[in-house]
């Protein structure tokens, strides 16, 4: 099949031949949290038994070791400012602080996330978890209701607070009681009960898929009574899915010892011996091995070479005249070391790194807290791993695997710390050897995190936006960047990098062609050394240190310029007084500022990433974060590399000067910043805090923070000429986080720095959603006039939530940053939603010159609150350059009420720019069905994504009989989709959402050059266009409003092939004979809640639209809502909602003539694929990578892959020019 070469498409400002379009020849209540998956997995909270050492030595100092006498530690109750402890701090106080901090962390342990029971070693009433009936320390969900109160967390913390050290270390008692508790008879007080202690049916339901864990913490070496028998020294037969355990197998050496009554025997029994008969538990067959086990290699090779002894090497020699001679009196022989090598290919089933158990069992984690609990001088030949918190897998771990070493008899205290390591291995957990006090909190946090990970019902990360450094390009490796956010990890977020690789051929013989070769794509390759931007931010500065070197900028109302976002006791922040009040969250004039200065400094430092005041105590009052980087939800990643346009006017010199600049990923975050990360390694180079979010920054520090949006709009960059200089400017918005926009100069990343703040920040017109309008009444004269003009502008600027339009041929270019017909450069935007005036307005913000003037064209003259000025606003526009001179001539954009507006910018005079068909006259008004079975199209269909435009290249028949003649249809096809996802009702899954629609309508307008050749103008029309010979220019006319019967558009229909795979059929066909009867076509989207929220694009340079429509999910994000524990697996979406890719022709709505989708997934595109043109895809930003004769769809960040066919070469395919 012939292939076309790469076409030089122009940025969505379609530069077309003049003749093609000149003549027939050619106020919303926005939600403040992101949507999460509609489907929730079957969630069963794990059982966790926490066993605490309260022996007398817990009263010692952290670094005290046993020397025969007791040494009481100091009474410090909190760590030092650097989060470390004094070495003589009492161990019990460190433990109390650690447990209180960890279990007060409601991000780590939200309601009903865990079920816990607890016990202490010696003292109090809660020293036996296996007490009869339901005791205060019995197994219950965290924050479970006891009586009428949620007290289980509080009861545990009260137990912790009341711990009092005393007596010895009878450690065996704890695993013995924990094991017996899990084996007790099944009844309402059993830890297996779904509702322990309850009275309903759930109190006698026992789920076999529930995971069980024992966290065993001690500060010393056990003594006192022993128990446990010989568990790991005895053969165990196979049982169900449990493999037989043989003490002589080379697979089990690390578990085996020949001694009885150790802690490791208890751990082995709790893991190996079923805690309950499988037949007594519901759905016991649903317990699956952990994900890490399923993904582990089948075997892992361990090998070690060690000294095994010595041998006699040779007799003693003496030297006589330089010749050796045996000494007759020598009775000693020299000795030589002998080394041996042992190797084991360890099956993953017996690898202690993994847990394969599918029977009722308990995993054991152990914590040794003090040098006595983590050293074993009596067995010094056994070397602990180099990693200690938790223990790693080197040194004697390998020797124990291969059999070079064996576990010793625990007959003396100076060897018994080894029993903690052995117990963790036998229990398929980990051993945490805590030598520093601050590591104790880390150990408990990591263990709970691992338990959460194995039991998690919601995906830890939800896919956000994405970008690619090479979109639809024929290059060997394309960088693909995807953002994710994690509600379960305190609304943290990150960006990851992957790289597409070359496709590979494989044999796919058919009867017709036994030698046929097909192409498939290998997995993508992780970039940035497998790190994310969040990892890079956390690596850059220590958690216990300052972040003074981080480059964060903001905007000052005092000086109207950019400033460093810093505030310290010695350096004042450059905010105005009003901005400082907003930052502190108080009303101007309430109180003096100075007493609150420290609080302001703490807020600024926190937002900058300083983590030293994060905690749960009075001295650490700020919200604990999992990462410095906050969630990235609706903001799309924008990649800015070397300048890549093709302008004139000295642009080539600019390209040369900046060709080696660092490529940067720009993205908005709900941590209050726009971020700029190096696309090369993921490190942050710049961050910006817009003025419109300053008043909400304090909320981010609050422990009870409820998610809201901050910088949630999508940035874009473009090159402009300002005077004699070319620049790259970034335009950013706040999305639902606030109103307006800001401009940054991002030309030269090497020049980013605090000293350049005033040059880097060009303009900031952002405002919070609740900020009042300026009060101009106190001003007079010219000042008041200017203030009133500013207010009128502000009243038309709303929440700009739309994604920016991209150049179809170069995704690094924003189509909305353009040159206008008066010669000036501007960013062209819709005004968004919730503006004071509530009307749709086209905004044109000048980017060059010193005036930075804002031009507004309102689409309607309706009074606020009525008609088209009622909860309305303009979405992202499509810009069109009709004559290829590099200047925008017309603009199309939709609004919240379903109107598709056209704006005429053909004049060289800005005052002549206007709505194309007159105020209140849109090109088209969309109306849809209330339900899929409805018959009346009377529902408003909001338009929130930009349209896409292409000249109509079809022909039609005019006249009849012998006078019939075929003529070009002409005009422009303007395609767009409907749907919105901004309000709570937009996301509700418990109500029927109106049907949304994909449209392509004909704008029949023609243009001509003005007599003075200065610019184009609209042709008013002339002649008869309905009969032959049809030598006419049609008069410009809007299409009108969508009628109930679909008129004046031809109906297309989605027809299911199988599941979510479908084709599209023409119910009313657009063809030469019927074009005279229609003004375009429409296609109703059939999936429940489906809508178009993303910009469409042309597939492979053709007229085929690649439409990515989606059905967003609801907003539930907590397992504590409507808890319904069940072992029955339910699919968990790893992204928010569902998405579909539909391929249809912009001209007539028909599917491609070439089969593009490999429906049967055999690598061949033929009739067996049943004309499928619509398929489900992963959610996220569309990413299509062209490689050789195939296109790889990596939408969603490179997870699920989909290989598509390419379009054939078309000699008549239009070739657009870049802007000049």
Q: Are 246 and 193 in contact (CB under 8 A)?
A: no
Q: Are 356 and 348 in contact (CB under 8 A)?
A: yes
| Tokens (6 digits) for 691 | 């003025």
- Residue 314: give the domain boundaries: 304-343
Q: Are 749 and 664 in contact (CB under 8 A)?
A: yes
Q: How high is the pLDDT of residue 1179?
A: 78
- Mapped onto helix, strand or coil, the DSSP state of residue 93 is helix
Inside any domain, residue 379: no
Q: Are 531 and 495 in contact (CB under 8 A)?
A: no
**């080696």: which residue's tokens?**
660
Q: Are 747 and 658 in contact (CB under 8 A)?
A: yes
Q: How high is the pLDDT of residue 306?
A: 83
Q: How high is the pLDDT of residue 707?
A: 87
Q: Which strand ranges, in their side-by-side order, compose the sheet holding 140-141?
A: 140-141, 115-120, 47-52, 212-218, 363-369, 431-434
Inside any domain, residue 322: yes
- What's the gap between Cα 1180 and its chain centre? 10
Inside any domain, residue 1179: no
Low-confidence ranges of the chain (pLDDT < 50): 1-26, 469-477, 1115-1122, 1198-1200, 1211-1220
Q: How many domains does the chain have?
A: 1
The closest of 1011, 1022, 1197, 1206 to 1106, measured between CA atoms, is 1206
φ/ψ (deg, to 5) at 324: -70, 145
Inside any domain, residue 309: yes
Q: How high is the pLDDT of residue 455?
A: 80
Residues 36 and 1133: their CA atoms lie apart, in Å, by 9
Residues 1126 and 520: their CA atoms lie apart, in Å, by 39
Inside any domain, residue 704: no
Q: How far is CA 522 from CA 482, 1183, 1198, 1203, 1205, in A?
A: 18, 16, 11, 11, 16
| Tokens (6 digits) for 916 | 């194309």
Helix, strand and coil in the chain, % to nearest 5: 20, 25, 55
Write down the number of H helices and E strands in the chain.
17, 59
The pTM of this model reads: 0.70
Q: How far is CA 569 from CA 114, 398, 598, 600, in A?
A: 43, 54, 8, 10
Q: How high is the pLDDT of residue 779?
A: 92
Q: Are 925 and 1038 in contact (CB under 8 A)?
A: no
The closest of 64, 817, 693 to 373, measured between CA atoms, is 64
Instruction: Provide the 10 A C-beta neighbour count for residue 876.
Output: 26
Strand partners, 879: 891
The closest of 860, 859, 852, 855 to 844, measured between CA atoms, is 855
Inside any domain, residue 634: no
φ/ψ (deg, to 5) at 465: -85, 175
The end-to-end CA distance of the chain, in Å, is 34
Furthest CA-CA distance within the chain: 133
The length of the chain, given as a count of residues = 1220
Inside any domain, residue 1143: no
Q: How high is the pLDDT of residue 473?
A: 31
Q: How high is the pLDDT of residue 291?
A: 73
SS3 readout for 687-743: EEECHHHHHHHHHHCCCCCCCCCCCCCCCEEEEEEECCEEEEEEEEECHHHCECEEE
Q: How high is the pLDDT of residue 515?
A: 80
Inside any domain, residue 763: no
């Amino acid at each position: 099949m012939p292939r076309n070469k790469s076409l030089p498409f122009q940025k969505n400002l379609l530069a077309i031949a003049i003749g093609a379009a000149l003549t027939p020849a050619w106020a919303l209540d926005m939600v403040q949290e992101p949507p999460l998956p509609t489907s929730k997995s079957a969630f069963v909270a794990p059982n966790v038994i926490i066993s605490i050492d309260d022996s007398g030595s817990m009263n010692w100092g952290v670094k005290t070791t046993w020397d025969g006498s007791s040494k009481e530690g100091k009474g410090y109750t909190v760590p030092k400012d650097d989060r470390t402890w004094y070495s003589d701090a009492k161990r019990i106080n460190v433990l109390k602080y650690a447990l209180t901090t960890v279990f007060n962390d409601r991000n780590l342990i939200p309601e009903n996330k865990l079920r816990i029971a607890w016990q202490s070693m010696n003292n109090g009433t809660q020293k036996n978890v296996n007490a009869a009936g339901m005791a205060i320390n019995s197994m219950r969900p965290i924050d479970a209701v006891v009586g009428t109160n949620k007290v289980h967390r509080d009861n545990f913390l009260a137990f912790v607070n009341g711990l009092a050290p005393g007596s010895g270390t009878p450690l065996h008692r704890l695993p013995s009681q924990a094991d017996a508790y899990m084996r007790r008879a099944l009844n309402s007080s059993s830890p297996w009960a779904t509702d322990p202690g309850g009275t309903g049916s759930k109190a006698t339901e026992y789920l076999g898929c529930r995971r069980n864990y024992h966290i065993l913490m001690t500060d010393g070496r056990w003594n006192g009574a022993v128990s446990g028998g010989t568990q790991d020294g005895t053969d165990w037969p196979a049982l169900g899915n449990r493999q037989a355990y043989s003490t002589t197998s080379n697979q089990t050496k690390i578990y085996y010892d020949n001694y009885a009554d150790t802690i490791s025997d208890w751990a082995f029994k709790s893991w190996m011996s079923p805690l309950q008969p499988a037949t007594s538990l519901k759905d016991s067959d649903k317990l699956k091995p952990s994900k890490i086990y399923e993904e582990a290699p089948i075997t892992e090779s361990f090998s070690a070479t060690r000294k095994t002894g010595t041998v006699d090497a040779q007799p003693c020699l003496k030297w006589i005249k330089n010749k050796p001679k045996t000494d007759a009196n020598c009775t000693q022989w020299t000795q030589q070391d002998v080394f041996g090598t042992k190797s084991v290919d360890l099956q993953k089933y017996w690898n202690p790194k993994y847990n394969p158990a599918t029977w009722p069992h308990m995993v054991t984690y152990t914590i040794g807290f003090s040098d006595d609990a983590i050293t074993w001088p009596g067995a010094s030949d056994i070397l602990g791993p180099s990693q200690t918190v938790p223990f790693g897998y080197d040194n004697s771990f390998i020797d124990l695997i291969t059999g070079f070493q064996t576990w010793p008899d625990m007959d003396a205290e100076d060897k018994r710390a080894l029993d903690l390591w052995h117990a963790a291995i036998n229990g398929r957990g980990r051993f945490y050897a805590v030598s520093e006090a601050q590591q104790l909190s880390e150990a408990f946090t990591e263990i709970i995190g691992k338990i959460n990970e194995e039991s998690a019902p919601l995906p830890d990360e939800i896919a956000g936006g994405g970008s690619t450094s090479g979109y639809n390009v024929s290059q060997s490796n394309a960088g693909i960047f995807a953002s994710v956010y994690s509600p379960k990890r305190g609304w943290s977020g990150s960006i990851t990098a992957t790289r597409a690789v070359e496709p590979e051929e494989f044999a796919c013989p058919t009867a017709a062609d036994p030698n046929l070769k097909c192409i498939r794509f290998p997995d993508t390759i992780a970039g940035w050394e497998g790190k994310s931007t969040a990892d890079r931010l956390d690596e850059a500065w220590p958690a216990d240190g300052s972040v003074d070197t981080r480059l964060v900028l903001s905007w000052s109302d005092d000086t109207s310029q950019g400033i460093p976002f810093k505030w310290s006791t010695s350096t004042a922040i450059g905010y105005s007084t009003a901005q400082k009040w907003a930052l502190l969250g108080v009303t101007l004039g309430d109180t003096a500022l100075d007493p609150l200065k420290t609080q302001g400094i703490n807020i600024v430092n926190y937002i900058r990433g300083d983590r030293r005041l994060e905690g749960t105590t009075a001295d650490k009052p700020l919200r604990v974060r999992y990462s410095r980087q906050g969630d990235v939800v609706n903001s799309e990643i924008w990649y800015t590399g070397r300048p890549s346009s093709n302008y004139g006017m000295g642009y080539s010199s600019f390209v040369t000067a900046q060709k080696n600049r660092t490529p940067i990923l720009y993205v908005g975050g709900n941590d209050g910043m726009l971020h700029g990360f190096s696309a090369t390694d993921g490190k942050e180079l710049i961050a910006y805090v817009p003025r419109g979010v300053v008043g909400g920054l304090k909320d981010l520090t609050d422990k009870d923070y409820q998610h809201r949006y901050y910088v949630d709009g999508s940035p874009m960059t473009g090159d402009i000429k300002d005077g004699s200089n070319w620049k790259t400017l970034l335009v950013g918005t706040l999305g639902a986080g606030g109103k307006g926009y800001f401009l940054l100069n991002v030309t030269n990343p090497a020049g980013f720095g605090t000293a350049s703040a005033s040059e880097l920040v060009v303009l900031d017109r952002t405002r919070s959603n609740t900020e009042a309008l300026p009060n101009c009444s106190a001003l007079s004269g010219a000042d008041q006039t200017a203030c009133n003009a500013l207010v009128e502008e502000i009243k038309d600027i709303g929440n700009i939530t739309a994604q920016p339009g991209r150049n179809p041929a170069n995704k690094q270019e924003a189509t909305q940053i353009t040159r206008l017909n008066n010669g000036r450069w501007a960013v062209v935007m819709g005004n968004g939603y919730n503006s004071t005036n509530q009307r749709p307005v086209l905004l044109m913000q000048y980017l060059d010159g010193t005036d930075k003037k804002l031009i507004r064209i309102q689409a309607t003259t309706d009074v606020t609150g009525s008609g088209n000025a009622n909860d309305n606003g303009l979405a992202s526009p499509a810009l069109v350059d009709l004559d290829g001179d590099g200047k925008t001539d017309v603009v199309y954009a939709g609004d919240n009420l379903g109107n598709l507006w056209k704006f005429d910018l053909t004049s060289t005079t800005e005052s002549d720019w206007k709505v194309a068909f007159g105020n209140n006259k849109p090109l088209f008004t969309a109306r849809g069905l209330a339900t899929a079975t409805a018959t009346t199209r009377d529902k408003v269909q909001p338009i929130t994504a930009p349209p896409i435009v292409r000249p109509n290249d079809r022909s039609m028949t005019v006249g009849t009989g012998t006078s019939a003649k075929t003529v070009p249809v002409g005009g422009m096809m303007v395609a767009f989709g409907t749907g919105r996802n901004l309000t709570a009702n937009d996301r509700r899954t418990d109500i029927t959402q109106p049907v949304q629609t994909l449209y392509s309508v004909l704008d029949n307008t023609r243009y001509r050059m003005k007599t003075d050749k200065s610019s184009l103008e609209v042709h008013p029309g002339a002649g008869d266009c309905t009969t032959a010979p049809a030598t006419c220019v049609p008069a410009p006319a809007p299409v009108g409003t969508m009628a109930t019967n679909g008129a004046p558009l031809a109906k297309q229909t989605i027809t299911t092939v199988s599941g979510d795979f479908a084709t599209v059929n023409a119910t009313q066909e657009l063809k030469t004979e019927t074009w005279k009867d229609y003004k375009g076509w429409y296609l109703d989207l059939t999936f429940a809640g489906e809508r178009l929220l993303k910009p469409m694009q042309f597939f492979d340079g053709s007229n085929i639209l690649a439409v990515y429509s989606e059905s967003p999910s609801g907003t539930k994000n907590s397992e504590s809502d409507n808890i319904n524990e069940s072992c029955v697996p339910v699919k968990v979406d790893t992204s928010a909602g569902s998405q579909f890719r539909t391929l249809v022709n912009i001209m007539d709505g028909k599917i491609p003539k070439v089969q593009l989708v490999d429906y049967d997934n055999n690598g061949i595109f033929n009739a067996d694929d049943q004309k499928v043109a619509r398929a489900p895809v992963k959610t996220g930003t569309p990413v299509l990578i062209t490689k050789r004769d195939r296109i790889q769809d990596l939408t969603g960040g490179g997870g699920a892959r989909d290989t598509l066919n390419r379009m054939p070469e078309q000699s008549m395919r239009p070739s657009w020019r870049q802007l000049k």
